[in-house]
Amino acid sequence: MTAALREDFKEILRLIRPGSRVLDIGCGEGELLDLLAREKQVDGQGLEISPSGVSACLAKGISAVQGDGDKDLDHFPTAAFDYAILSKTLQQMREPRHVLSELLRIADRAVVSVPNFGHWRVRWALLTTGRMPETKALPEPWWSTPNIHLCTLRDFTDLCEELDLRIEACAAVGRGQPARAIDPSRALENWRAETALFLLTRDRPAETKTPAGATLNGDLFG
């Protein structure tokens, strides 16, 4: 199954509690929601900008509505979901700061994955070619990429700190490689992690906070 082949989907499956209320923003054709419904019996809903994606979800029996994550999250009630998922989509948003804040308004926790523009392959390509890099995580050329707000791990953790969000867990994920738990505040991981997946919440007890605002729970990731 396509969804089962993606390492970030596998890690999201590990994070979500059975029977949870889940909103998947940018759900595509519903592969992740279908996986979560079968394996975790979630009460899932998708938000997808593409009419064909919504139609594909409905054909699978998945609840989905057409909408733009940049504009339509504001219309969801506060605390309507247990989890809001944004998988490799935040960098495509026009207002990523607002979107990230809204995720933690409408849900108790957010699962967010982002490509890391600080990865060593990106730095090396810029250094050696002087051109915008194309990697496994960022495969499109600059003139056709949907990514308009790329960031590094350091950028993302700084934004979480600014928004008073707690990083409950973080894992580096890559195509064909098992996920590994990381501390995103470490400078080395800003070089090593090609894509990072975060579990976020607004609840941030002072006694568990690290200088970068990250609290890492190894039990959340294998």
Q: Would you tell me how many other CB atoms lie within 10 Å of the CB of residue 22?
A: 26
CB 141 within 8 A of CB 134: yes
Q: How many C-beta atoms lie closer than 10 Å to residue 211's C-beta?
A: 7
pTM to 2 decimals?
0.85
Residue 60 pLDDT > 90, yes or no? yes
DSSP-derived letter for residue 116 is B
> Which whole number is the average pLDDT over 50-77?
94
Segment among 28-42, 52-66, 145-159 with least mean pLDDT: 145-159
Whether the predicted pLDDT of 216 surpasses 70: no
CB atoms within 10 A of CB 41: 11
Q: Indicate whether 55 pLDDT > 50.
A: yes
Q: Per-residue pLDDT tens for 159-214?
A: 999 999 999 999 998 777 788 999 999 999 999 999 999 999 996 544 444 434 44
- Which pLDDT score, from 0 to 100, does residue 135 have? 81
| 140: number of Cβ within 10 Å | 11
**pLDDT, tens digit (0-9, with 9 covering 90-100), for 91-147:** 889 999 999 999 999 999 999 999 999 898 999 989 999 988 888 888 888 788 887
Task: Please determine, for residue 29, whether its predicted confidence score (pLDDT) is greater than 50.
Answer: yes
